[in-house]
Amino acid sequence: MANSINRRSWIKSTAILAGGTAFFSGAISTLAAVPKRIQQTFLNDRLADQAAILEATPVMKARLLANENPFGPSVNVKKAIQEALDSSYQYPFMHMKELTGKIAAYEGVPESSILMDAGSSPLLLASAMFYGRNGSEIITGDPSYSSLPSDAELLGAKWVKVPLTAEYKMDLDAMEAKITNKTGLVYICNPNNPTGTVLDTEKLKAFCERVSRKVPVFVDEAYIDYLPDPQAASMISMVKAGSNIIVARTFSKLYGFAGLRCGYVIAQPDTLKDLMKYSVGNMSISAPTVAAAIAGYQEKDFLKDALKKTLASKEFLYSVLTKEGYDYIPSSANFVMFPIRMEGARFAKEMSNRGVGIRFWKFNDKDWCRVSIGKMEEMQLFADAFKQIS
Ligand code: PLP
* pLDDT tens digits, 318-340: 999 999 999 999 999 999 999 99
Q: What is the pLDDT of residue 2?
A: 37
* pLDDT tens digits, 48-85: 776 776 676 668 999 999 999 999 999 999 999 999 99
Once rounded to an integer, what is the mean pLDDT over residues 95-119?
Answer: 98
* pLDDT tens digits, 207-255: 999 999 999 999 999 999 999 999 999 999 999 999 999 999 999 999 9
Closest CA to 113 of 259, 258, 280, 237: 237
Measured from the Cα of 250, ligand 1's closest atom is: 16
Would the CB of 313 count as within 6 Å of ligand 1? no
Would the CB of 335 count as within 6 Å of ligand 1? no
Measured from the Cα of 145, ligand 1's closest atom is: 3
Compute CA 100 distance to the chain's CA centroid, rounded to the nearest angstrom. Answer: 19
Q: Report the alpha-carbon distance of residue 71 to residue 62 in Å, rounded.
A: 13
Q: What is the pLDDT of residue 159?
A: 98
In this prediction the pTM is 0.89
Amino acid at 199: L
Task: Judge whether residue 274 has pLDDT over 90.
Answer: yes
Measured from the Cα of 257, ligand 1's closest atom is: 15
Spatial contact of 20 and 278, defined as CB atoms under 8 Å apart: yes
In the chain, what are the domains? 13-72+301-389 (3.90.1150.10), 75-296 (3.40.640.10)
Q: Where are the beta strands (DSSP E) in the chain?
A: 62-63, 114-117, 137-142, 158-163, 183-189, 217-220, 245-250, 263-266, 335-339, 356-357, 359-363, 366-372
20-50 burial, b at 16+ Cβ within 10 Å, e below that, comes to beeeeeeeeeeeeebeeeeeebeebbbebbe
Q: Report the alpha-carbon distance of residue 372 to residue 37 in Å, rounded.
A: 28
Q: What is the pLDDT of residue 13?
A: 40
Task: Judge whether residue 35 has pLDDT over 80.
Answer: no
Task: Judge whether residue 28 has pLDDT over 50.
Answer: no
Q: Which residues contact 221 (CB under 8 A, 6 or more apart)?
A: 190, 230, 234, 235, 247, 248, 249
Instruction: Output Rg (C-alpha) for the chain, integer angstroms.
Output: 21
Spatial contact of 222 and 372, defined as CB atoms under 8 Å apart: no
Q: What is the pLDDT of residue 59?
A: 80
Closest CA to 207 of 183, 168, 229, 175: 175
Q: How far is the CA of 218 from the centre of ligand 1 (A)?
A: 14
Q: How far is the CA of 292 from the centre of ligand 1 (A)?
A: 19
- Give, using CA atoms, the residue closest to atom 4 of ligand 1: 222
Measured from the Cα of 119, ligand 1's closest atom is: 16
Would the CB of 222 count as within 6 Å of ligand 1? yes
Closest CA to 130 of 56, 238, 46, 19: 19
Amino acid at 128: A
Spatial contact of 5 and 96, defined as CB atoms under 8 Å apart: yes
